[in-house]
């Protein structure tokens, strides 16, 4: 699956203690919250799962849990490429609490995370090697500082060109996930990390009754497929370098 997340939480302070003490929540409370966040959509229970399995659910799917002092959602619709564009209805839903967003996708090496305190955006970062830094608002957190200081450079594998960012977004993304949510997806967990497979979630299908979203997704996918360049192939040479292969090599 790779490192992928689509997480949004409303919490009274630090989210991690709520996850440490998580117990199975009331499914009726969870479905009410999902309906509140998706007005006008058809919300249907589809079965339960864990945070470890569903931190990045498929389209038209939402996983949620109600914790002591917090609410947690795994839902692609609730994560924005630019977190500052979080819809007003979500800000209202989290009014008076801390709102935490984390989005990550290994296919594009994209990362975003953001924190709001009492409705005010205090930190937002969104970046990828292709698009660059799309958003960088507020003061970096302590866990970010070594990355911005150049202590985690990326060695290019398939090109002599330098990596376009001072660090790999997914590496910082794992640290942001640990700092804000208390767990990681890839790499060796710390002794104090939460086991995401211990966090029970309720699953729901959340469908646009008009069919508009599905049609828009299909149109975007067709556009992407038409714009894709031919694949590039490489071969490992005896000296350990990679050589790009041409048509004559096959």
Rg (CA), the chain: 20
- Please check the confidence at residue 219 and state whether its pLDDT lies above 80: no
User: Partners of 64 in the beta sheet?
Assistant: 73, 202
Cβ-contact 136, 114 below 8 angstroms: no
Percent of the chain with pLDDT over 70: 91
Q: Kindly tell me if the per-residue pLDDT of 244 is higher than 90.
A: no
Q: CA 195, CA 191: separation in Å to the nearest integer?
A: 10
In order, the DSSP letters of 83-107 are GGG--HHHHHHTTTSEEEEEEEETT
Local structure of 58: helix, strand or coil: coil
Question: Phi and psi dihedrals of 28, rounded to 5?
Answer: -70, -40
* Tokens linked to 11: 């919490």
User: What is the pLDDT at residue 158?
Assistant: 66
Residue 231 pLDDT class (50, 70, 90 cuts): confident
Residue 87's φ and ψ, nearest 5 degrees, are: -60, 150
202 has a pLDDT exceeding 90: yes
What is the arithmetic mean of pLDDT over 191-215? 89
Q: Give the predicted TM-score (pTM) of the model.
A: 0.85
Domains of the chain by residue range: 4-249
> Strand 61-67 and strand 42-50: pairing?
unpaired
């Amino acid at each position: 699956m790779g490192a992928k997340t689509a997480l949004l939480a409303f919490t009274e302070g630090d989210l991690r203690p709520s996850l440490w003490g998580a117990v199975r929540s009331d499914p009726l409370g969870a479905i009410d919250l999902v309906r509140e966040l998706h007005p006008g959509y058809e919300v249907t229970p589809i079965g339960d799962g864990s945070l470890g399995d569903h931190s990045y659910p498929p389209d038209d799917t939402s996983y949620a849990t109600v914790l002591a002092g917090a609410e947690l959602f795994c839902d692609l619709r609730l994560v924005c490429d630019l977190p500052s564009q979080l819809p007003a209805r979500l800000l209202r839903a989290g009014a008076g609490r801390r709102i935490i967003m984390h989005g990550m996708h290994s296919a594009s090496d994209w990362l975003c995370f953001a924190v709001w305190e009492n409705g005010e955006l205090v930190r937002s970062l969104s970046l990828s090697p292709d698009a660059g830094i799309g958003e960088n608002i507020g003061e970096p957190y302590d866990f970010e500082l070594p990355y911005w200081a150049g202590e985690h450079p990326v060695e290019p594998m398939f090109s002599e060109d330098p990596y376009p960012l001072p660090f790999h977004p997914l590496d910082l993304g794992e640290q942001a996930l640990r700092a804000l949510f208390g767990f990681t997806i890839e790499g060796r967990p710390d002794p104090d990390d939460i086991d995401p497979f211990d966090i029970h979630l309720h699953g729901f299908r959340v469908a646009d009754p008009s069919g508009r979203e599905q049609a828009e997704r299909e149109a975007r996918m067709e556009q992407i497929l038409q714009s894709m360049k031919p694949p590039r192939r490489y071969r490992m040479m005896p000296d350990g370098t990679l050589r790009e292969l041409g048509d004559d090599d096959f």
